[in-house]
Amino acid sequence: MQIGSLVQRAALYFADAPCLTQGNKTVSFREFDDLTNRLANALLALDLSPGDRVGVLLPNSIDCLVSYYAVAKAGLVRVGLNTRETGDEREPGDEREEGVVCLGAGPNGGEWNGDRTPYYIYIP
């Protein structure tokens, strides 16, 4: 069973039950499924294909989980990025970010809530 199927199945069985809570924001299982579908479709609209790599550079949050599951639903591969790592800490020849679309909170911070295209940058 694929991860995306688990999210869809949970939405079917638990619909409006709380799925994730962060501060005063709560997302139901149905909303989580919808958000992950919308982001997965937005990523595929960038002409990404299953197997392409996507970096997620977000702190632990609802948005990070939405991104993680959306990448899986789209058949893309998540590249592990560390928000604390600097360019100086990378090994010479480190190609983890080569040819990767990176999702982040955007230049002004904030959260992706499914109402707009996620902030991204392509690293050739």
Task: Show the CA angle centred on residue 66, arms to residues 60 and 67, nearest 5°.
Answer: 85
Instruction: Identify the CA nearest to 44 among candidates 6, 71, 15.
Output: 71
Predicted pLDDT at 36: 94
Distance, CA of 82 to CA of 79 (rounded, Å)? 10
Look up the CATH number of the domain holding residue 10: 3.40.50.980
To the nearest 10°, the Cα dihedral for 63, 9, 115, 57? 20
pLDDT at 5 over 70: yes
Tokens of 35: 């958000």
If one counts the domains in the chain, the total is 1
Crossing angle (nearest 10°) for helices 62-73 and 29-44: 60
Distance, CA of 66 to CA of 82 (rounded, Å)? 17
For residue 122, the cross-strand partners are 101
- pTM for the complete prediction? 0.75
Q: Give me the amino acid identity at 23.
A: G
pLDDT tens digits for range 69-116: 999 999 998 887 766 666 565 554 455 545 566 666 555 454 444 444
Domain range spanning residue 32? Answer: 3-123
